[in-house]
Amino acid sequence: MFTRIDHVGIAVRDLEKSISWYETTFGLTVASQEVNEEQGVHEAMLSVADGPAGGSYVQLLEPTRADSPVGKFLARNGEGVHHIGYGVEDVENALASISATGVRLVDKRPRHGSMGASIAFLHPKDTGGVLTELVQAAKH
């Protein structure tokens, strides 16, 4: 079902400082930056690799408000890994297949994600404590 590891989402307090650190330390480059009001984050996708199934990224997430999911995560845990995103061919079919196994869904329907992707989250209590995101990349 998974086609690749699409990205690792990392909660940060200062997006610009974190971008600079990843660029300087690891040589990553910013592929996109946007504000997602619905999720309450200012995010940057930093390109790691590009392969036959598509690119992989480090996604840096700075909350735009304290009551957002990432804001609450930072308050509880500090900076660090927030979630992992896996590429799928069809996010709606993946949701149906996964739901049929008994895994609880955070999102019953796909929503807008980074770089025009369709995304949906799975409940971490049913995925080994890891917030898991399904990512259907936008067609170019």
Look at residue 16 and tell me whether its pLDDT is greater than 70: yes
**What is the DSSP track for 21-49?**
HHHHHH--EEEEEEEETTTTEEEEEEEEE
The partner residues of 30 in beta bridges, in order of sequence, read: 46
Residues 79-120: tens digit of each pLDDT: 999 999 999 999 999 999 999 999 999 999 999 999 999 999
**What is the DSSP track for 98-137?**
HHHTTPPBS-SS-EE-GGG-EEEEE-GGGTTT--EEEEEP
Look at residue 23 and tell me whether its pLDDT is greater than 90: yes
pLDDT of residue 112: 93
Residues 63-84: tens digit of each pLDDT: 999 999 999 999 999 999 999 9
Superfamily of domain 2-136: 2,3-Dihydroxybiphenyl 1,2-Dioxygenase, domain 1 (3.10.180.10)
Taking residue 52's Cβ as centre, other Cβ atoms within 10 Å add up to 6
pLDDT of residue 54: 65
Distance CA 95, CA 100 (A): 8
Residues 33-47: tens digit of each pLDDT: 999 999 999 999 999
Look at residue 7 and tell me whether its pLDDT is greater than 70: yes
Domain coordinates in residue numbering, the chain: 2-136
pLDDT of residue 33: 97
Query: 9-13, 52-56, 123-127: which has the minimum mean pLDDT?
Result: 52-56
